[in-house]
Structure 1
Amino acid sequence: MWPFSRQPVVPVLRFSGPIGMATPLRPGLSLAAYAGAIEKAFSLSKLPAVAVVINSPGGSPVQSNLIFNRLRQLAAEKEKRVYVFCEDVAASGGYFLAIAGDEIYGDPSSIIGSIGVVSRSFGFVDLLQRLGIERRVYTAGTDKNQLDPFLPENADDISRLKAIQQDVHDVFIGLVKERRLGKLKAPDAELFSGAFWSASKAVDFGLIDGITDVRTKMQMLFGDKVKLKVVEPERAGLLSRLRRAPGASGLGNGLAFADDLVSAVEERSLWSRFGI
């Protein structure tokens, strides 16, 4: 039994949804949004543990890295052990967040992995021609208009994009190898292909440490009377978020809702890749 006269408390951080994707009406996962909650979680309890629950299909590699770094900084500063629990999906940027954990666990049906980088777009060249639309773009800088979806694909633009993707992928791979040192049990070509797996296969590959849930694990560590305290980020109300949006009245509100709709479609696309 954990030697506390009072009921022991484990702070729980929940990271749910796409990372970095945000509109005035749909705040995404970002360090700016979660910084306060993260700091509070590491100061809330005397127990040497913080639990992190993740349900994310990924998103921004920059915001993933920023949140990862802050979790590890505070874990070292406060001498806390971070326990991560994956729900439906911890893939791509979601798995990037997961490796901030000293131990990582999943549900039997969790989807884990997708250690890769992707860029998606559309091409509208033929559509403009069919509609008889002439598009006019003026730039200063020869590469300013690269990857324009209204222009035919350019081999140099694609090569440049792939080089950037490889740099980002290398950072991801390096952190996975560092954080899962001595635990990975599959060839690099398989682990880092961008594929994703069930939690049981992720255990076999050493990507996670086992199958359990946050309450069961915390009770095993700190006793049956342990209390889980979810630490939520502060969120502005709907009206406040609308007021902060560019052009916060009239047309601006309409644009905010339009942005929100586009964001919802993009979010749905991220989740649907994993059958969720």
Structure 2
Amino acid sequence: MQEDRWERDALREVALEGIRERRRTRRWGIVFKSLFLAYLVVVLVIVMGWLPGATDTAPGAHAAMVEVDGAIMPGGVNDSEKVNRALRRAFEAPEARGVILKVNSPGGSPVQASRINQEIRRLKEEHPDTPLHVVAGDMFTSGAYYLAVSADRIFVDQATMVGSIGVMMNGFGFHEAMERLGIERRLHTAGDNKAFMDPFSAEDPEDVERLRRLLDDIHQQFIAAVREGRGDRLADNDEIFSGEVWTGARSLELGLADEIGGMQHVVRDVIGVESIRDYTERPNLLERFGRGMGTALGESFAQHVLGPNHLE
């Protein structure tokens, strides 16, 4: 009888130990899964650039920075409304000793660039004691130069691409391909010029001349903004407005920029403070995640499907 009780107790203890072991395993599994999830979150935050840097919380006297990075397009991250709201916050910050417009962009919409340029001029008149300086990155061309040309001073690197003061419109013509394929184009309009520059019709010389006049008008607006913003600092050289691109070093000779210098030089030596605060209107976390995932998928597709040279 005692031997049977001992066996039952032993079996019971073994069963209980098995249950306890499974519980321990389950608890440790939850811990490791939680740690792994936290690790993934930290990696995403770092890779996607979601961590606020020291520039976001700078106390006291500071340089107020607004960044324009990438194409200047309506509805994008550099939409004129977003950039102008950030500029207003930067100029109105009570402890901002100066505003820095950090630009790295090949350009984009002339309308968006013009609106930012106009807002910069308005804010400078409203806040005459707050200087605005531009610090250019790799690209500072076309619409990017247009929006920033009214700055008090423009700082570039020797290798910064500067200029491209011109206007371009491009497209494709498909009418010959359609004829070879036997495709009939059916186009009906109300208004003689409604089908202006239709890509599926043969190019009309009158349309081309009309387009040239439109581009010339916009080009003259661009030139006027550059002349007003740079004044007598511009060199007497018609090539400035030819659409050509120069290095930062050459842009100093042409009067398109003022000095070779980066962000820290402007903050410490020009504005005379130690800290920067970022007033750029950033996308929220979901928007950044979606944009980052979209970019990663697009690059992966291009590399594996279109070939390694597609992105060059």
Aligned residue among 176, 181, 184 for 1:131: 181
Alignment-derived partner of residue 208 in structure 1 = 257
1:7 Cα offset (Å) = 4.4
Pick closer, same or farther for the CA change 1:154–1:194 going to 2, 3 Å.
same
Alignment-derived partner of residue 142 in structure 1 = 192
1:222 Cα offset (Å) = 4.3
Q: Given the alignment of the two structures, is residue 197 of structure 1 paired with residue 246 of structure 2, yes or no? A: yes
Aligned residue among 41, 58, 67 for 2:116: 67
Alignment-derived partner of residue 37 in structure 1 = 86
1:234 Cα offset (Å) = 4.6
1:186 Cα offset (Å) = 3.7
Contact 2:105 2:144 in 1 (8 A): yes
The 2-side partners of 1:239 and 1:7 are apart by 31
Aligned residue among 61, 71, 75 for 1:8: 61
SS in 2 for 1:55: strand
Q: Which structure is richer in relative contact order (CA contacts within 8 A, separation 6 or more)?
A: 1
SS in 2 for 1:118: coil
The 2-side partners of 1:222 and 1:211 are apart by 15
Pick closer, same or farther for the CA change 1:102–1:239 going to 2, 3 Å.
closer
Per-residue CA distance 1:62-95 (angstroms, 9 max, x = gap): 1100011111211221222110011011101011
Alignment-derived partner of residue 83 in structure 1 = 133
The 2-side partners of 1:132 and 1:204 are apart by 56
SS in 2 for 1:170: helix
Contact 1:86 1:98 in 2 (8 A): no
Alignment-derived partner of residue 251 in structure 1 = none
Alignment-derived partner of residue 52 in structure 2 = none
How many equivalent pairs are there? 237
Q: Give TM-score scaled by structure 1 length.
A: 0.79
Per-residue CA distance 1:193-214 (angstroms, 9 max, x = gap): 0001000000011100010012
Per-residue CA distance 1:217-237 (angstroms, 9 max, x = gap): 2201344x6111111215356
Pick closer, same or farther for the CA change 1:236–1:116 going to 2, 3 Å.
same
The 2-side partners of 1:19 and 1:239 are apart by 18
Q: Given the alignment of the two structures, is residue 122 of structure 1 paired with residue 166 of structure 2, yes or no? A: no
Alignment-derived partner of residue 166 in structure 1 = 216
The 2-side partners of 1:207 and 1:54 are apart by 15
Deviation larger for 53-62 or 132-141: 132-141
Contact 2:68 2:78 in 1 (8 A): yes
Aligned residue among 168, 175, 198 for 2:225: 175
Structure 1 ranges of 4+ moved more than 6 A: none
Alignment-derived partner of residue 161 in structure 2 = 111
1:111 Cα offset (Å) = 0.4
Contact 1:9 1:226 in 2 (8 A): yes
The 2-side partners of 1:28 and 1:149 are apart by 30
Instruction: Structure 2: give runs of 5+ residues left out of the alignment.
Output: 1-58, 303-310
The 1-side partners of 2:281 and 2:200 are apart by 40
Instruction: Structure 1: give runs of 5+ residues left out of the alignment.
Output: 1-5, 243-256, 266-274
Name the amino acid aligned to 2:226: V
The 2-side partners of 1:172 and 1:131 are apart by 42
The 2-side partners of 1:218 and 1:239 are apart by 30
1:28 Cα offset (Å) = 4.3
1:50 Cα offset (Å) = 0.5
Deviation larger for 144-153 or 131-140: 131-140
Q: Given the alignment of the two structures, is residue 93 of structure 1 paired with residue 146 of structure 2, yes or no? A: no
SS in 2 for 1:51: strand
1:47 Cα offset (Å) = 3.8
SS in 1 for 2:233: coil
Pick closer, same or farther for the CA change 1:124–1:146 going to 2, 3 Å.
same
Pick closer, same or farther for the CA change 1:133–1:19 going to 2, 3 Å.
same
Contact 2:163 2:245 in 1 (8 A): yes
Name the amino acid aligned to 2:258: D
